[in-house]
Chain A
Amino acid sequence: MADLAHQNVTGAHSGETRRDFLILTASAIGAVGVAATIWPFIDSLNPARDTLALATSEVDIGPVQVGQRLTVAWRGKPVFIDHRTPEEIKAAEGVDVSSLRDPQADSARVKKPEWLVIIGVCTHLGCIPLGQKAGDDRGPYGGWFCPCHGSIYDTSGRIRQGPAPLNLVVPPYEFTGDTMIKIG
């Protein structure tokens, strides 16, 4: 009796390892198949080609006077172009980088010190900070102030106070002439 039972158990056991293996491999292949089928559905939600095609903007910055700020649209987002005054440049360069939340030297954020080009989207939750128009509240650092949740940026667009974790993003751009820049 005991022998028989023992045999049965081992028999069933070896059969089950074989079956386990088949179930496991079949389910793994099935899971890969399901994932491969789902991916087109998810990827269809990503930006389409026509959206991606509108990805560069060219801007003439010649008319922007010292101290003036210009807003242009790039990929549907506002880009802030700031023709900085010497005082603003000095303020931006004079900061102790290690004291910043998102440490970055001003020189790493500009191609020419008098021109600051940044994406005007608050890195907290995507509002557009104030500071582009003459009467706007620029916050205590003379840069930008986000009215949604109170983030404050300096004249280099770096986060100084408030909930935003990162500096205002510098978009990829290049000077195509003395007063022409291409964003994107």
Chain B
Amino acid sequence: MADIHPAGTGSRIIRWIDYRLPFVGMLQHELYEYPTPRNLSYWWNFGSLAGIMLVVLIVTGIVLAMQYTPHADYAFDSVERIMRDVNFGWMLRYAHMNGASMFFAIVYIHLFRGLYYGSYKQPRELLWILGVVILVLMIATAFMGYVLPWGQMSYWAATVITNLFSAIPWVGQSIVTLLWGGFTVGNPTLNRFYALHYLLPFVIVAVVLLHLIALHRFGSNNPLGIDVKGPQDSLPFHPYFTIKDLFGLSVFLLIYAFFVFYAPNFLGSSDNYIPANPMQTPNHIVPEWYLLPYYAILRSVPNKLLGVIMAFGSIFLLFIVPWLDTSPVRSARFRPIYKWVFWLLVIDVIALGWVGANPPEGLVVTVGQIATFYYFVHFLILFPVIGKVEQPRPLPVSIGTAVLRHSEGAQLGTAGAPMVKP
């Protein structure tokens, strides 16, 4: 350990500093030597991608904030000024709004990766919970950011979402008035949303750091879902995974850049280019795509309070997933039933997204109710029951034996190499 130094850390100045402020050594340990399971697939790229998107959003957001005016009379015009007059303003704003979409897409893939490979299981429960906390903070931040341009969708999204709290018995209406700072969504609401939209990303950064501390305590899970048992199971993070993450990043940036430069409004709603009008509700209110499933659950329940409880509940269920899943085996690769049921959840969430995007009539309502019902059945019934009844396939002895035998077999050309099975 002590004799391997990345470039620079061996210098006397660095050592002088590190003796007093053990930061360089920590970075070296966590980003360079950090032993990482050698079998990580590209599904493991999305954590670092999410971190990079968070930085992109903060940087674009700070420069946008320097041009934006948080006042009900000027907000819309100041955003249009950013689009038309500010140098590269259009690019920064498109990068910010599409960046939010990309951030959610990445985080959702990251989350489903965790669900498939059982990354939330002992001893990574807190790591998972911190991830869900980040998701909740992201939703709050994205919602408040969406209000800032003060278009029709901004205004009515703010109205509908804040009104969710009016479902709380007795104190609901007072809470809504408190949130608004008035009798409707108005200038005080815009001002406080702006303040919080600026604050929350830094709270997210703090929770991300906790997420990383929890991650580095036991290291990454891996596609086999078994623990690293020795040096033959892992590789140092640098250069093996830095280069893999960078390659994934460059592929991702192509997709991101496509949206920013060629389809910047594809993911948004054109109604938000109409200035907010408190006297007229748009005929069809839809949230941004990343909130559609929750919105679908909200609408599918015919009772207001229950609808609100279930929409929030759909997220809060994620907090208790480590205890709902009773299977001792992490990776779905070795779980013959869960492996397929997992994809039902993916289809279910996509169906909910479709329901949320369409007006609640006819087939949409039926599909919405079935999909909502399934969502809760999946977590509350299938998760615990499958863990109990399923017969998992045998696990490999170690990551090393499972992945190295393939490459060795290929090198030697011995197709019939003895298989090591427990």
Contacts and interface: CB of A to CB of B under 8 A. Distances in A.
A125 interface: yes
Interface residues of A, number: 25
Interface in B148-196: 156, 159-160, 162-164, 166, 177-184, 186, 188, 192
Interface stretch (B13-21, B96-104, B281-289, B404-412): B281-289
Interface string B129-164: 000000000000000000000000000100110111
A42 B159 CA distance: 20
B216 interface: no
Contact of A51 (B179, B188, B278, B281): B188
Nearest to B284: A147
A102 to B, nearest CB: 12
B192 A164 contact: no
Interface string A66-108: 0000010101111000000000000000000000000000000
Contact of A126 (B163, B181, B186, B192): B163
Contacts of A8: none
A127 B178 contact: no
A148 B279 contact: no
A51 to B, nearest CB: 5
A95 B159 CA distance: 32
Interface string A109-137: 00000000000000011111000000000
Interface residues of B, number: 33
Contact of B178 (A42, A76, A128): A42
B178 A45 contact: yes
Contacts of B182: 47, 51, 75-76
B110 interface: no
Contacts of B279: 71, 73, 78, 128
B37 to A, nearest CB: 46
A99 B186 CA distance: 37
B280 A149 contact: no
Contacts of A127: 156, 159-160, 281, 285
Given A45-B178, A150-B360, A163 B304 contact: yes
Given A42-B178, A126-B159, A126-B160, A75 B183 contact: yes
Given A51-B183, A76-B183, A46 B177 contact: yes
Contacts of A77: 183-184, 278
Contacts of B280: 128
Given A47-B182, A51-B182, A76-B184, A164 B304 contact: yes
A165 B181 CA distance: 24
A75 B22 CA distance: 58
Contact of A76 (B177, B186, B285): B186
A127 B285 CA distance: 9
B303 interface: yes
A119 B305 CA distance: 21
B244 to A, nearest CB: 45
B302 interface: yes
Contacts of B162: 126
Given A46-B178, A51-B188, A125 B164 contact: yes
Nearest to A121: B184
A1 interface: no
A18 B268 CA distance: 64
A45 B179 CA distance: 7
Contact of B304 (A73, A124, A128, A147): A124
Contacts of B302: 163
A150 B281 CA distance: 13
Contacts of A126: 159-160, 162-163, 166
B304 A148 contact: no
A48 interface: yes
Contacts of B164: 125
Contacts of A164: 304
A171 to B, nearest CB: 11
Interface in A8-45: 42, 45
A125 B283 contact: no
A59 to B, nearest CB: 15
* Most interface-central of B164, B305, B360 (chain A CB within 10 A): B360
A78 B183 CA distance: 11
The 9 closest A-B pairs by CB, nearest first: A75-B183, A126-B163, A76-B184, A125-B163, A128-B281, A127-B281, A125-B160, A126-B159, A51-B182
9 contacts: A45-B188, A46-B177, A71-B279, A75-B182, A75-B184, A125-B159, A125-B166, A126-B162, A127-B159
Given A78-B278, A125-B164, A150-B360, 20 more contacts: A45-B181, A45-B188, A46-B177, A47-B182, A48-B181, A48-B188, A51-B181, A51-B183, A51-B188, A75-B182, A76-B183, A76-B184, A125-B304, A126-B160, A126-B162, A149-B360, A163-B302, A163-B307, A164-B304, A165-B303
